[in-house]
């Protein structure tokens, strides 16, 4: 009602305000794009000088198409540069690309190899991924003991989902000896962080 009244009373003003709003929106979008593009250029300079963190970031930007046209081949190339320097995040990224077949043919063996390297570099995400691989038998023989080992490493490394999983693993004795006290310990730890599934399990135990 009010909007219609204003439109009738001040049609030229409303049109000007509408155009201004559109122009402001376009300006913000262009400015954001320019900032991302500028970030890419600066990061690329550092990456080309051998900064492995920058190399990983460039790989990520190519993978996401941020500030540059999306290119999975380029993403792999830059992740590899950083991974070869021992950067765990880049090693994990290569493992992820291999296991989902993004930009390449799915390769579980290569994924496991990269995840293992990243896991040695204390990547909780890589440790958890290895747990999932062995728990599901994805490209390898299913092995609940190995799965539990990797989930435990990830849990000790602060991975919340792994901590929750360890509660269930010890509760059911999956790949480990059943241990209700250990189960309760992990559920309590996750509950203290506010996870909604942990408290009901603690109440049940």
Q: What is the CATH number of the domain that holds 158?
A: 1.25.40.10
Residues of the chain under the 70 pLDDT cut: 1-36
Q: Are 183 and 165 in contact (CB under 8 A)?
A: no
Domain that holds residue 177: 145-205
Q: Is residue 130 part of a domain?
A: no
Note whether 105 and 150 are same-domain residues.
no
Note whether 202 and 155 are same-domain residues.
yes
Place of tokens 């300006």: 27
Give the per-residue pLDDT at 34. 57
Give the per-residue pLDDT at 35. 64
- Enter the tokens of residue 178: 């059943």
- Enter the tokens of residue 141: 């023989």
Note whether 54 and 113 are same-domain residues.
yes
CA 65 to chain centre: 16
Give the per-residue pLDDT at 140. 93
Q: How far apart are CA 67 and CA 5, in angstroms?
A: 44
Note whether 171 and 203 are same-domain residues.
yes
- Enter the tokens of residue 114: 């990269």
Note whether 161 and 203 are same-domain residues.
yes
Q: How far apart are CA 56 and CA 88, in angstroms?
A: 10
Sequence-ordered alpha helix ranges (H) in 49-179: 52-64, 72-84, 88-100, 108-120, 124-136, 144-156, 160-172
Number of domains in the chain: 2
- Enter the tokens of residue 193: 């962080």
Q: Is residue 94 part of a domain?
A: yes
Q: Is residue 198 part of a domain?
A: yes
Note whether 116 and 68 are same-domain residues.
yes
Q: Is residue 13 part of a domain?
A: no
Q: Is residue 82 part of a domain?
A: yes
Residue 116 CB neighbour total at 10 angstroms: 16
Q: Are 42 and 35 in contact (CB under 8 A)?
A: no
Give the per-residue pLDDT at 203. 82
Q: Are 47 and 63 in contact (CB under 8 A)?
A: no
Note whether 149 and 186 are same-domain residues.
yes
Q: Is residue 56 part of a domain?
A: yes
Give the per-residue pLDDT at 87. 96
Note whether 105 and 155 are same-domain residues.
no
Note whether 72 and 108 are same-domain residues.
yes
Note whether 162 and 114 are same-domain residues.
no
Q: Is residue 134 part of a domain?
A: no
Q: Is residue 158 part of a domain?
A: yes
Any idea what the Cα angle at residue 119 is, between residues 117 and 121, rounded to 5°? 75
Note whether 78 and 113 are same-domain residues.
yes
Q: Are 175 and 168 in contact (CB under 8 A)?
A: no
Q: What is the distance between the terminal CA atoms of the chain, rounded to a whole angstrom?
A: 60
């Amino acid at each position: 009602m009010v909007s219609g009244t204003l439109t009738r009373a001040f049609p030229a003003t409303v049109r000007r305000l509408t155009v201004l709003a559109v122009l402001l929106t376009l300006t913000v979008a262009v400015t954001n794009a320019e900032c991302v593009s500028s970030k890419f250029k600066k990061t690329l300079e550092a990456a080309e000088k051998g900064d492995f963190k920058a190399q990983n970031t460039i790989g990520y930007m190519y993978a996401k198409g941020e500030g540059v046209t999306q290119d999975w081949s380029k993403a792999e190339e830059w992740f590899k540069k950083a991974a070869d320097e021992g950067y765990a995040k880049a090693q994990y990224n290569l493992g992820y690309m291999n296991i989902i077949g993004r930009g390449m043919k799915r390769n579980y063996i290569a994924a496991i190899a990269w995840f293992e390297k990243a896991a040695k570099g204390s990547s909780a995400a890589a440790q958890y991924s290895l747990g999932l691989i062995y728990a599901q038998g994805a490209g390898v023989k299913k092995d609940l003991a190995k799965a539990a080992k990797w989930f435990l490493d990830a849990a000790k490394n602060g991975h919340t989902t792994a901590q929750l999983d360890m509660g269930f693993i010890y509760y059911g004795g999956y790949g480990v000896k059943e241990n209700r006290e250990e189960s309760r310990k992990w559920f309590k730890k996750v509950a203290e962080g506010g996870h909604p599934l942990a408290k009901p399990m603690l109440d049940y135990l």
